[in-house]
Chains A and B, each alone.
Chain A
């Protein structure tokens, strides 16, 4: 799992960067973009499951961020603020287009990140993906952010504007649904 630690972003002097971006400094805009684009793109891709959509959502996120940078009041970190825009754009975009990824596509195309797929049964892989797709939007978002992308509940709470307890509850619900969905493969998981 490739995680970008938030600590690495603390080196960015946020307030200075924000002021430079608001002032229209091109170099600052690019710096802001380079700092966060990987993480935003990864999350958008996880949610969309489609390269075109992920690019669109990422671009829309940064366009919106540049437009609204002037209204950023610093009540949360710049990263949290940007991620909340990213998740909002992605979920709204998915609702509008309703273009969820098609499972008919060869699975190996997207398996370039180091995973343990080679040791897992293809049917289980397929079943797990379908089960995650079938989760409700809020459960799937929390599950993807926490279990797949490694966000903490605090970060999820700030990004989705929900209490930490709600984030934990959603994750618990998501795991329970997945456990039931995969019961065929391991009956002992179902209590």
Chain B
């Protein structure tokens, strides 16, 4: 067979390639055109009509919304419980502080019930230099006081640091960065910083109860969050290309998880040297997924896949979730 004969054969044989139906659905398409022009130029490719995606996944959107709302509620509740229990732990007297208080009560000329310590309070009297006389007032205006005896002037405070409500955080005069807080040394080794547990330890030393409660709450929330993130990333990886319409729903889900991830990054959970990088990588992936839409190019989806693979995010997520915690 010559080349010309092959071309002729090809023309004939190729007539069946994607052969259109004998009748063009003129009226149906015209109705759609008119409808689309009446409501705007929005048209969803890949479905029979703009309403088709909703009909194809009648409950998918609602399920995703419920799951996302539940996840956000859970994380918010957990973070709230964690903060509440952390504040309670800082207020609750430990055995060491109780001993210090009883010692204070035994000091003459000092009221047995001192007001609650604030960030601006100075060191505990038990830590005073030896040159100072216990039981003598510190005010230089009072004759015979420690400062009056030593010639020490009261420190001038131009811009005294102010406390930030009851949260024990000290805000600098500029109102920006927290300034170093005055530490109250307590015999026994535990340290209070501005009414809040020292950030290095996270919780008050010497109190097992107060130390465990916030840790458990944060851990629980973190595990739930990681489980949800794993579910999202698995959904993203296993979705087919035909499910491009789901991208918008995945993006909404990811947006909620992104907020939770950032909350956790700002919580004691992120103090864990292994968990923090995972949360940071997860944040990066979620930011990418948030930008997904049905119109997203395939290269962008590929970039997310690459990030997932290069950083082993999914594997690390699964490793971080203990057995039995998935799907809870």
Chain A contacts to B: CB under 8 angstroms: 1, 30, 33-34, 37-38, 41-42, 45-49, 51-60, 62-64, 66-67, 93, 95-99, 101, 107, 110-113, 115-117, 120, 124-125, 128-129, 132, 143-144, 147-148, 175, 178-179, 186, 188-189, 191
Contact = CB atoms under 8 A, between A and B. Distances in A.
A97 B20 contact: no
Nearest to A33: B30
Nearest to A191: B3
A189 B244 contact: no
Interface string B19-36: 111101110111011001
Nearest to A190: B6
B10 A93 contact: no
Contacts, number: 146
B12 interface: yes
Interface stretch (B41-49, B69-77, B108-116): B41-49
B17 A96 contact: no
A55 B32 contact: yes
Nearest to B6: A189
Contact of A115 (B19, B26, B41, B298): B19
Contacts of A99: 46, 241-242
B45 A60 contact: yes
B327 interface: no
B17 A148 contact: yes
A186 B7 CA distance: 13
Which 7 pairs of residues, A with B, have the shortest CB-CB distance? A45-B20, A97-B46, A49-B18, A52-B48, A93-B45, A110-B19, A115-B15
A37 B1 contact: no
Chain B: interface residue count, which band? 35 or more
A59 B46 contact: no
Interface of B: 1, 3, 6-7, 10-22, 24-26, 28-30, 32-33, 36-37, 41, 43-48, 52, 241-242, 244, 294-295, 298
A84 to B, nearest CB: 18
Contacts of A64: 41
A189 B16 CA distance: 21
B13 A125 contact: yes
A148 B36 contact: no
B16 A111 contact: yes
A101 B242 CA distance: 12
Contacts of B20: 41-42, 45-46, 54, 110, 113
Contact of A96 (B7, B28, B33, B295): B295
B22 A113 contact: yes
Contacts of B14: 128, 132, 143, 147-148
B297 to A, nearest CB: 8
Nearest to B295: A96
Contact of B244 (A53, A96, A101): A96
29 contacts: A1-B15, A34-B26, A37-B29, A38-B26, A41-B25, A46-B17, A51-B48, A52-B47, A55-B32, A56-B44, A62-B29, A63-B43, A66-B33, A67-B41, A96-B45, A96-B46, A97-B45, A97-B46, A99-B242, A111-B16, A113-B15, A124-B13, A129-B16, A129-B18, A132-B17, A144-B17, A147-B11, A148-B17, A175-B10
Given A53-B46, A112-B19, 17 more contacts: A34-B26, A37-B29, A58-B29, A59-B33, A67-B41, A98-B241, A107-B16, A111-B19, A113-B19, A115-B19, A125-B13, A128-B14, A129-B16, A143-B14, A147-B7, A148-B14, A148-B17
Contacts of A178: 10
A112 B28 contact: no
A41 B18 contact: no
A66 B18 CA distance: 27
A137 B256 CA distance: 39
Contacts of A132: 14, 17
B295 to A, nearest CB: 7
B45 A56 contact: yes
B37 A63 contact: yes
Contact of A188 (B1, B18, B19, B46): B1
Contacts of A129: 16-18
Nearest to B40: A63
Contact of A38 (B7, B16, B24, B52): B24
A83 to B, nearest CB: 15
B37 to A, nearest CB: 6
A1 B14 CA distance: 10
Nearest to B32: A59
Contact of B12 (A49, A67, A97, A116): A116
Contacts of B21: 45, 51, 110, 112
A57 B18 CA distance: 15
